[in-house]
């Protein structure tokens, strides 16, 4: 695992092979892995709303990160 910061971790091949975005310690907000997307630990259904769901989760995470910097 490579921790880019307290809130982003990249798991390399041989591990989970995923990118995870965290808020407040170990609360995983968004995970991107070969088997799909996960928002708050729940798999995102593959349908016409998948991209929107992932986008909104990332937007929420990014907003939270911006608020923590002030």
Closest CA to 65 of 21, 20, 2, 19: 21
| pTM for this entry | 0.70
State residue 44's pLDDT score: 93
Alpha helices in the chain (DSSP H): 50-68
* DSSP for residue 33: E
Residues of the chain with pLDDT under 70: 1-16, 25, 69-70
pLDDT digits (tens, 9 = 90+) for 54-66: 999 888 888 887 7
Contact 16/33 with Cβ under 8 angstroms?
yes
């Amino acid at each position: 695992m490579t921790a880019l910061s307290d809130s982003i971790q990249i798991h390399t091949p041989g591990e989970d092979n995923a990118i995870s975005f965290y808020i407040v310690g170990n609360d995983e907000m968004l995970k991107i892995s070969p088997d799909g997307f996960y928002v708050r630990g729940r798999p995102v259904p593959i349908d016409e709303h998948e991209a929107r769901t992932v986008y909104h989760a990332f937007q929420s995470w990014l907003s939270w990160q911006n608020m923590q910097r002030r």
